[in-house]
Amino acid sequence: MLDEMVTGQGKVLLLAGGGKIFTDIAARFVRSERELEDIAASPYSRKIVENILNSGHKAAVEFDYFIFGVSGYSRVTETQLVRKRLASYLIKSGRAELNGKRKFSLVYPPSVKDFAAEVTLPDGSRLSVTPHLLADMTEQWYEAGIAQGYPEEDLRYMKPQATEFKAIIGMNAHALLDWFAIRCCMNAQHEIRDLAQKMLHLCREAAPDLFRNAGASCVQLGYCPEDSLQNKRCAGKILTKTEALAVLKAYKHKA
């Protein structure tokens, strides 16, 4: 059964994380001479968490862990997602579901969803091909292979990158802050940026003290570290690293 979506419709659920914050306990532990039981019983300190984040020494932030459920995103985004090594991933099998149920779920970017291209077939005839037609032909080929007994783990090699993936993702807060800096950036591909922004929204709701200033690098740093590669939509709105250094140099010169 062909099931089609467009990018931006993906769903993200926060399964665990937030509530009690452990960053302040971890930070106290490395600096305090008190017994561990006393440290653990101390009232939560937002100030300690703020100091840790502002200092850039984020090792203590790794003791807060968040787990997400993700669906409605393409294998293109899955490939980009798993480039972040400091995370745990459990990705749903791409083979048949139990009891013979099977979905051929695809996620298309709106910009190409209705694009039709003329292609030449082996017999020389011409055919107008849309993403839907390509997907339908692939699904028919896939189902025919299964019916003839070909192993599904081999047939799935021909599935498109538009195929949906579902996953459980686990990251600690330090890894999330780093990931948001890269994937919330306007230079990030639009689908993974959508995933990052939805995850960030959930994190801010669950643990506002940890993620209040989280976001793209420019949000965290106050300037764009992409410099000459800055996204055109940000030009003139956000200082690049070079421009920020020039402003600082001019200020020092006046002082």
Identify whether 204 is a catalytic site residue. no
Question: Would you list the DSSP string of the chain?
Answer: -EEEEETT--EEEEEE--SS--HHHHHHHHH--S-HHHHHTSPP-HHHHHHHHHHT--GGGGG-EEEEEEEEEEHHHHHHHTT--SSEEEE--SSPPGGG---EEEEE-TTTTT--EEEE-TTS-EEEE-HHHHHHHHHHHHHHHHHTT--HHHHGGGS-TTBEEEEEEEEEHHHHHHHHHHHTSTTS-HHHHHHHHHHHHHHHHH-HHHHTT-SSHHHHHSSBTTGGG--TTTTTTS-BHHHHHHHHHHHHHH-
Point out the catalytic residue in the list 28, 75, 85, 183.
183
Catalytically active residues are 183
